[in-house]
Chain A
Amino acid sequence: MSPATQAVLHFLQTWWVELVSGVVIVAVVPLIAGYVVLVERKLMADMQARLGPMRVGPHGLLQPIADAVKLLIKEDIVPQDADSFIFWFAPVISMVAALTSMGALYFGPDFRVAQDINIGILFVIGVSSLGFLGIILGGWASNSHYSIIGAIRSTAQLVSYETAGGLAIICALLLSGTLRIHAIVDAQSDHHVWFIFLAPVAFFTYLVASIAETNRAPFDLPEAESELVAGYMTEYSGFRWALYFLGEYANMIVVASVATTLFLGGWLRPFPNVHWLNWLDLLPALFIALVGIYCIYRAGKQPVKIQVWFMWAVAFACFAVALIFLVPWIFASLKFAILGLNGAFWFLLKVSAYIYVFMWLRFTLPRYRFDQLMHLGWYILIPLAIVNVFSVGVALLLEAEFGWNRWLALIVTTAFTLAIALFLVRSHDKRVAAASSASAATSDSYAG
């Protein structure tokens, strides 16, 4: 063989894991994002006493594929004197940013793309913060009043909440002591506790900041339909719009995975080191088997023949997966694989729980006004995050220098942080009351 092919073979041998997972991410994530959209629509429907998409495939299961095909076929309108190069380029940036930031993530003890980068979490945050470049350029390139205002608004929102999110992550890093993702999760299993319990305020701040970062729920101002008619996405249509849309959902998955890794103990099952709870390792297989049984139960009720078969197929698939989970229990030699498979299951369960909270907020809460949103970000969230970093630092100092028990130190400092938070919120309300009483007199309302 010629040296070139040898080099290529050598390259493949060393990097085949990364390459395969890379291809999987780029191919599968848009599909997953599509199905997250379907889940969201079904959940919204369920909460609003209606059925949601039911027409395409049994219970609307093929809806994302139909949406994708529709968007592909739709005409890509480029506004008249829009900046065509940037107009084409902007959605690509936001999609690429979301996907590359997934590269550094661990979806289970050994499901990953990049081999435990030294700056793991920092890489994810840094690259995902490139996403809003796509938003600004998209808003600017479509050259219409509404999208420019939308773009400026969303950038201001992202910048201010990125700070709060970053500070919240610092608290978790203080506790874990390292940036490597694998090491963070190991730290949580060594401490026998998830960081959410050690730094609850940090988790809450990160939850709020991540919602704002992905332009969702009460903070979905840039594309607030009722005011600016879809903000920066107004002029986009067809596949480019789909890129933006999938970018937002991929970003949501990234943010959920970061939160799970940092605060919810990544792929650790609840109470990882409590040995009498070891039957929990069986839970994943049990859970999937239950889903299979439910499918069989529903199969009988399907009106259309093909849907009955489909349900049976799904049930069969569930049982197969449940078996795969059980295989390492049967063959002693595959013992090591238990942690790997279960880990992935627990990680995905936590990520979907986190995303469920996103969706839940979107269906119940009305939307913040822009100045309220900025006010909340700068006057309450960022000071709270700073105080929290300070208090976690003090807690670690107490534990290291004065030998306090870690739990006691953290409880004391969290109480201190919450006191500050209460003070911040009360002064915020006083300010709002003052501003509004002033406005009641003059016509110029709530100055914020």
Chain B
Amino acid sequence: MADTVDQDATHSNDTLLGADELILNMGPQHPSTHGVLRVKLKLDGERVRGAECVIGYLHRGVEKIAENRTYQQFAPYVDRMDYVAAISNGLGYCEAVEKLLNVEAPIRAKVIRTILTELQRIASHLVWLGTHALDIGALTPLFYCFREREEILKIFEKYCGARLTTHAFRIGGLQYEAYDDFEKDVERFCKDFERRIQEYVDLLTGNSIWIGRTRNVGVLNAADCIALGATGPILRAAGVKWDLRKAQPYAAYDRYQFEIPTGTNGDTYDRYMVRMEEMRQSRLICLQAIENIPEGPIFGKVGKVIKPAPGEIYHSIEAPKGILGYYVVSDGTVQPYRVRIRPPSFINLQALDKMIRGHLVADVVAVIGTLDIVLGEVDR
């Protein structure tokens, strides 16, 4: 909490009209701030003049803990950051340390990792779509999205026993072999998901109220995105055709064909369309991947004790929210000297103030939804 002592709703300086410029406090227990985020809105009547985010309520000091754990021990902490997309956090960390060790995971492990990460991307986008639609007032999409997400979590549970904080990957490869009908489950989900996406599209895409509430709300053009470091769907919705999975492929992404969806004027509606298209693309990747999962070992040549040579590396992946980067410094011991995590939600949230200037209070809720932030990752 940046500043603890503060009246709830204060009247600060008067504006031209003599009407007070109201400071309205949203959160940290507000139903639609997606976690413990507190936004201090400077309001002039209903119009927002500025927003200051007060974060840190969920700060657990993950980077300090990393300096006191071995490389393997720190892996489960990584799942607790963006708890909605735990698997992609794990993928990022394991690949970073593998890079540090100059070791490559075997191809079978890479393919299984890619499938699970893409399923996790779909699950993360489903959580985003459900809560975002709920904030704007559409009650039904939430339950449809969570019904599909339940299928994905069942696959995770069958694979590694956990649904949310899975710790599915190990440094050097995979702990568990893909269970018997892994391909069958994923295929059944992907086949069914095609019809399900159409249900969301019927409910929302053409809906004039939905368009009215999202078109030209929270506009962030390409230049601002890059300047503010906003990446992921927000950058693509602004028209930049760039995806780290294509630009610098990792895991097994170079084996599969998929499109990069982009928007035109970077408003909430475009971000909605980009994320919907991303779900379809992830589905295609999974379908291509399960056609042939190559045989072979699932764990590379990494001993039980990991002592990487002193030095440092930076490795980043395309997480559902944006670029998730790991900067790991090793001093040759079993414990990392420094682990820095580049949190996409934290940096995307910085754009909130610029995006909602001049909007109404109802739009603040929509813009926080479209940023798709998870407070575990913002606060670390």
**CB–CB under 8 A between A and B in the complex?**
yes
Contact residues of A with B, CB < 8 Å?
A: 44, 47-50, 145, 218, 220, 224-229, 362-372, 432, 436, 439-440, 442-446
Identify A366's interface contact among B46, B136, B357, CB under 8 A.
B136
B245 at the binding interface (Cβ < 8 Å): no
A5 vs B67: C-alpha distance when bound (angstroms):
93
Closest to A429 in B: B208
Identify A436's interface contact among B143, B216, B365, CB under 8 A.
B216
A44 vs B143: C-alpha distance when bound (angstroms):
11
Q: Say yes or no: A440-B24 contact (C-beta < 8 A), given A145-B9, A218-B137, A218-B209.
A: no
A341 vs B319: C-alpha distance when bound (angstroms):
65
B118 at the binding interface (Cβ < 8 Å): no
B69 at the binding interface (Cβ < 8 Å): no
Nearest-neighbour CB distance to chain A for B44, whole angstroms, equals 11
User: Which A residues are CB-close (under 8 A) to B140?
Assistant: 47-48, 363-364
A376 vs B266: C-alpha distance when bound (angstroms):
26
Nearest-neighbour CB distance to chain A for B199, whole angstroms, equals 10
- Most chain A beta-carbon neighbours within 10 Å: one of B133, B137, B138, B363: B137
Contact residues of B with A, CB < 8 Å?
A: 9, 22, 24, 30-32, 46-47, 133-140, 142-144, 147, 203-204, 207, 209-210, 212-213, 215-217, 219, 265, 357-363, 365
Q: Are B31 and A365 in contact (CB under 8 A)?
A: no
Closest to B137 in A: A367
- 12 of the cross-chain contacts (CB-CB < 8 Å) are A47-B140, A226-B32, A226-B137, A226-B365, A363-B139, A364-B138, A365-B138, A365-B207, A367-B209, A369-B212, A436-B215, A436-B216
- Most chain B beta-carbon neighbours within 10 Å: one of A227, A370, A444: A227
Q: Are A369 and B138 in contact (CB under 8 A)?
A: no
User: Which A residues are CB-close (under 8 A) to B216?
Assistant: 436, 439-440, 445-446
User: Which B residues are CB-close (under 8 A) to A371?
Assistant: 46, 360
Q: Are B137 and A372 in contact (CB under 8 A)?
A: no
- Most chain A beta-carbon neighbours within 10 Å: one of B32, B133, B212: B212
Q: Are A224 and B31 in contact (CB under 8 A)?
A: no
Q: Are A370 and B46 in contact (CB under 8 A)?
A: yes
Q: Say yes or no: A365-B362 contact (C-beta < 8 A), given A48-B143, A49-B143, A145-B9.
A: no
User: Which B residues are CB-close (under 8 A) to A369?
Assistant: 212-213, 360, 362-363
Q: Say yes or no: A439-B212 contact (C-beta < 8 A), given A226-B137, A364-B138, A370-B46.
A: no
User: Which A residues are CB-close (under 8 A) to B135?
Assistant: 226
User: Which A residues are CB-close (under 8 A) to B9?
Assistant: 145
User: Which B residues are CB-close (under 8 A) to A362?
Assistant: 139
Identify A365's interface contact among B46, B137, B217, CB under 8 A.
B137
Nearest-neighbour CB distance to chain B for A154, whole angstroms, equals 14
Q: Are A367 and B217 in contact (CB under 8 A)?
A: no
